[in-house]
Amino acid sequence: MPQNRPIKIEGIEPNGTLRLSDKGNTIVQRGDTVTWSIHPGSKVQKINNIVKSGGVEVFSEKPAPIGSSGHWRGTISPTIQDGSEQKYDIHYTPEGSTEVVVFDPKIIVNSR
Residue ranges per structural domain of the chain: 4-109
CATH superfamily of 4-109: Cupredoxins -  blue copper proteins (2.60.40.420)
- When pLDDT is cut at 50, 70 and 90, the band that residue 110 belongs to is confident
Number of H helices, E strands in the chain: 0, 10
Q: Which residues of 90-110 are buried (b: 16+ CB within 10 A; e: fewer)?
A: bebebeeeeeebebebebebe
Is a pLDDT exceeding 70 seen at residue 112? no
The string of pLDDT tens digits covering residues 68-99 is 999 999 999 999 999 999 999 999 999 999 99
Is a pLDDT exceeding 80 seen at residue 65? yes
* pLDDT for res 111: 53
- Best CA proximity match to 112, nearest among 85, 78, 86: 78
**Is residue 29 packed enough to be buried (19+ CB in 10 Å), middle (13-18) or exposed (0-12)?**
middle
The string of pLDDT tens digits covering residues 9-64 is 999 999 989 999 999 999 999 999 999 999 999 999 999 999 999 999 999 999 99
